[in-house]
Structure 1
Amino acid sequence: MMTVNEDEPLCICDICDDTFEICAEFITHLKSEEHIKELSDIVPRDSWYGKPMHFCHVCNYPGYDEYNMLLHNQSEDHHRKKNLAEKMAQEEDCESRKRNPQVDLFYERNKKQSL
């Protein structure tokens, strides 16, 4: 039977080579700019463009594989940022239509003609 050694840290970040006694501190570390910078230095990159192969443009998060991105995309932080970005885009679109109502008129007219 395995026993937990209380002298050992609870969480270890192999990327930054840091240890954490408290899970909340580890989670805060994973969201930190320092950790994300270290992560972006080691993630697989596209050989043609040199950009990360797995990247979330909503959160500016570089992932190191498909599974990591799946977990990221299911995270509460990602959903919160995605919803905020969608809301901001809708507000910007609404403001654009207020400033340029003729653009909206052409859109509606073309939409009716295509039906």
Structure 2
Amino acid sequence: MTLTRSGGIAGGAETVTVEPDGRWTATGRTGTARTGQLSPADLDRLRALAGSAPSGGGPGRPDVRCADTYTYRLTIDANTVEWADCPSGPQPPAAASALADLLLRAGALR
């Protein structure tokens, strides 16, 4: 699974890749890589959410009318969904948003 978050006030992109065993590698805006391990509870939650994630497609291209928002791209196997933190744009599937929140909370993306 790979999650990329880009944009925001500072711009740039951050990417985190999570292995099936919960090990993650994150690359920040500066290109610096960090590694970590999801807790057993977070790994269980990730697996449950990934199992209910959309199987292709998604809400479409993010709405670019909102300034200084983050844009997310979540890829699980061959399925990708993209969205932006913009209330006027398409909203992501609940599982995709919850996966991004889990990775943010776990510290994989800062």
TM range (shorter): under 0.3
Q: TM-score, normalised by structure 1?
A: 0.22
Answer with 1 or 2: which has the greater Rg. Answer: 1
Greater fraction strand = 2
**More helix as a share of residues:** 1
